[in-house]
Amino acid sequence: MLVGGATCIGEAHKRNGIPLQDAFKVFGNSTQKYVIAIVSDGAGSARHAEIGSDRICSIFTDEVRRLCEESQTVSFDKFKETTSFAIQSARRSLVDDGYSLADCHATIVATLAFDDRCFLVHLGDGLQVVLIREPSGAIAACVSEPENGDAANETFFYTEDDWHSHLRITEIPRDVLACFLMSDGMEEFVWNPKTGLKLPFCRPLLQNARQAVISGQDLNEILSEIVSDERTNQFTNDDKTLCLVLRDSAPVTIHEAGNNLNQYIIRNGHPVKFSPSADTPAPPRVQQRTSPQSVSNTLPQRPTAKPPTGVHSNSLGAPDSEESWATEGYKRSSRLVSFFLGLAIYFIGLGSGYFLNELERDPPWVVKDGSAKTSSSVAEKESEKAKLGSDITDQSQKQENGVATSTSSPSKDVERTKGTSPTGTDKANVSTPSSAAKVVSDSKTPYPTNASNAPSKSTPSDAAKESVSTPPSVSKGTKVDTPNPTKASNAPPKSAPTDAAEKIGR
């Protein structure tokens, strides 16, 4: 799995001398094959919001890592316990440091993703989208929406007394293909509550990410270019953070699903089918206004019910059954409809690639379930990884004003944070490109205990194993440690990519 992230201070924050209040942290463990990503958005109305957001990112990552290292298989119940514990610990540590919790208000959007399932945590606003493969092979998007108060700038924070009543934890027992986590500054580019997922944003993002992996470019660069893109400033002046989790080095793009991507909104831990509706025009200006009474019967209703405030508890269980995640009947009819729709549009000359893909023709680089793959796809993946490996040392430090990035490639165990970690635990253990290939090929084997520290077993690919040492200089506020000495190292140490952990703007 591949994970990366980037954050960019908002224009309004710059203008008003407010620090970057978003924080994120990502961690990838290629041995145990899991990825942790968390984004936290500090409230502009809170004096030390940047402390609150940073604190939860560090503590959550540490606690979930510990959980994964201690357990062979992480149960959903254990994950829920750990999440609650992490939040309580973060709250306690803020108070211990002399902060008032009300001064440290921050939201949480987080995930712990394995190949075949993931756990989502959501408290407050921000957005999380998980692309999954349904048992039928179809690709679907599961969306965890923001929870707002009556007004759009009112939301809920882990630092509030009733945090537990707004904490939403969900298990998605499906193959995970990709996962987007973001603060509300990026939300509107990815999701429209009426029309659903914004494919013109998501598709190129995944394409570019794939391209980056193939060419050995850092995923960070892609993400930091996105969050700091000038065009975002037309719509938001808030801090913007985006983390991306991708399955393997050959991410499946939404192209495969065509325009008929199934979309679900997560409600109370269960997927609710999302039906896009036509977007109404932007709010009419006063000249065109009509009275509420005269228009009330003609306007389309929001397709899905707003999540009731305060109903989300951390008792959200795992879905009762597999059926709760996808009903075969629905899928069949949907696929039939998409088939004929695709065929029709194809024949009138608008279709082409998307709809051929809808007929279940996987592109050669798609790896299903991490095991069933053709020899050509393996060969291609291996060659991609070889490229990636050779480029590891070529990655240069990226220094962009106000932008912090962080990534973990498929070939690395990396933990990065954007900012100063109060616990000082930022580490980067960078392993080999070939070990990532092993992640794929070994995906059916049970997780080894204490795998993060265990030397990899000898495989033909071990010849390419490399250790990556501490970079000569690290940007402010972040420490990158040497890799675990127990890691097998058959090749001379190289400089670690120094692009990952930067924090500017605090």
Identify whether the C-beta of residue 57 lies closer than 8 Å to the C-beta of residue 23: yes
Q: How many Cβ atoms are within 10 Å of 350's Cβ, its own excluded? A: 10
Return the range that interacts with other proteins (CB under 8 A); candidates 8-16, 257-265, 382-390, 495-503: 8-16
Residue 150 in the binding site for other proteins (CB under 8 A): yes
Using CB under 8 A, which of 73, 98, 275, 285 touches other proteins?
A: 285
Question: Least distance from C-beta 352 to other proteins, angstroms?
Answer: 17
CB of 204 to other proteins, least distance (A): 4
CB of 304 to other proteins, least distance (A): 11
- Give the integer Cα–Cα distance in Å for 250 and 117: 18
CB of 208 to other proteins, least distance (A): 5
Q: Is 105 among the residues that bind other proteins (CB under 8 A)?
A: yes
3-state secondary structure of 412: coil
C-beta separation of 266 from 147 below 8 A? no
Cα distances (angstroms) measured from residue 301 to each of 194, 274, 276, 280: 9, 13, 11, 10
Least Cβ distance, residue 12 to other proteins (angstroms): 4
Single out the segment in contact with other proteins by CB under 8 A; choices: 186-194, 316-324, 350-358, 445-453: 186-194
Nearer residue to other proteins within complex by CB, 152 or 463:
152
**Does the CA dihedral 147-149-155-157 come out positive or negative?**
negative
Does 393 sit near other proteins (CB under 8 A)? no
Dihedral angle at the C-alpha atoms of 225, 31, 438, 248, nearest 10 degrees?
-30
Residue 172 CA: distances (Å) to CA of 121, 179, 258, 292, 433: 11, 12, 22, 40, 28
Residue (43 or 68) nearer to other proteins, CB:
43
In the complex with other proteins, the residue whose CB is nearer, 235 or 340, is: 235
Residue from the set 70, 97, 229, 369 that interacts with other proteins by CB under 8 A? 229
**Contact between 278 and other proteins per CB under 8 A:** no
Decide if residue 87 touches other proteins (CB under 8 A).
no
Return left, alpha or beta for 349; rule: phi > 0 is left, psi -120 to 50 is alpha, else beta.
Answer: left
Can you tell me the distance from the alpha carbon of 114 to that of 107, in angstroms, rounded to the nearest whole number? 23
At 371 the three-state DSSP class reads coil
State the Cα–Cα distance between residues 119 and 98, nearest whole angstrom.
32
**Residue 19 contacts other proteins per CB under 8 A:** no
Quick one: 57 or 206, whose CB is closer to other proteins? 206
Determine, following the binding rule CB under 8 A, whether residue 289 of this chain makes contact with other proteins: yes
Name which of 30 and 407 has its Cβ closer to other proteins. Answer: 407
Whichever of 159 and 475 has its CB closer to other proteins, that residue is 159
**448 near other proteins, judged by CB under 8 A:** no
Answer yes or no: are the C-beta atoms of 205 and 226 closer than 8 Å: yes
148 binds other proteins (CB under 8 A): yes
CA distance 183 to 125: 7
Among 14, 78, 164, 198, binds other proteins (CB under 8 A): 198
Q: Could you say which of 135, 137, 149, 424 contacts other proteins (CB under 8 A)?
A: 149
Among 84, 88, 89, 237, binds other proteins (CB under 8 A): 237
Question: Is residue 48 within 8 Å of 104, Cβ to Cβ?
Answer: yes
Among 1, 38, 46, 110, binds other proteins (CB under 8 A): 46
Please state, in angstroms and as integers, the Cα–Cα distance from residue 181 to each residue in 6, 8, 245, 399, 495, following that order.
11, 14, 8, 23, 29
Site size with other proteins, rule: CB under 8 A: 62
Q: Is 181 within 8 Å of 38 (Cβ atoms)?
A: yes
Closest to other proteins by CB, 283 or 349? 283
Q: Which window, 36-44, 131-139, 364-372, 407-415, contacts other proteins (CB under 8 A)? A: 36-44
What span, in angstroms and rounded, lies between the C-alpha atoms of 136 and 327? 10
Q: Of these, 114, 157, 264, 325, which contacts other proteins (CB under 8 A)?
A: 157
Q: For residue 349, give both structure tokens.
A: 């000359």
Question: What would the DSSP string read from start to end of 91-127?
Answer: HHHHHHTT--GGGG-B-EEEEEE-SS-EEEEEESS-E
100 belongs to the binding site for other proteins (CB under 8 A): no
Give the residues lining the site for other proteins (CB under 8 A).
Answer: 11-12, 15-16, 41, 43-47, 102, 105, 125, 148-157, 160, 184, 188-189, 192-194, 198, 200-201, 203-205, 207-208, 211, 222, 226, 229, 231-238, 280, 282-286, 289, 292, 295-296, 299, 302
